[in-house]
Amino acid sequence: MPPSPPRPPAPPTTGWMDRPGDSHARRPVWSARFIVEYLRQSLGELSKVAWPSSGALRANATLLLLTLVVVIVGLGVVELAAGTLARGLFA
């Protein structure tokens, strides 16, 4: 099977930064109306979130902290055992 011919180059693109006479890129305009609309939409999206109840939040936080303690203790035991073994082998 012969190789396929090379692809032609992509056509040049123009964008908002390529306007004639613009020597530098324009910065976006942050108006008070834009910021207020952004905050309004953000609060609207946050109102759609299913937030956990305080009991569920407390239970999940407790589980997280207990898991963290178990992992820390487990790593401490492994480190202590490895140190004791290394001390015994290389002493």
pLDDT at 6 over 90: no
Contacts for 17 with CB less than 8 Å, ≥ 6 apart: 25, 26
Q: In terms of pLDDT, which residue wins out, 53 or 7? A: 53
16 located within any domain: no
Task: Please tell me the total count of domains within the chain.
Answer: 1
User: pTM value?
Assistant: 0.50
26 located within any domain: no
Q: In terms of pLDDT, which residue wins out, 79 or 88? A: 79
pLDDT of residue 14: 61
pLDDT class of 5 with cuts at 50, 70, 90:
confident
- Domain of 76? 65-91
69 located within any domain: yes
Separation CA 88–CA 91 (nearest Å): 6
Q: Mind listing the pLDDT tens digit for each residue in 17-63?
A: 555 555 555 666 778 889 999 999 999 999 999 999 999 999 999 99
19 located within any domain: no
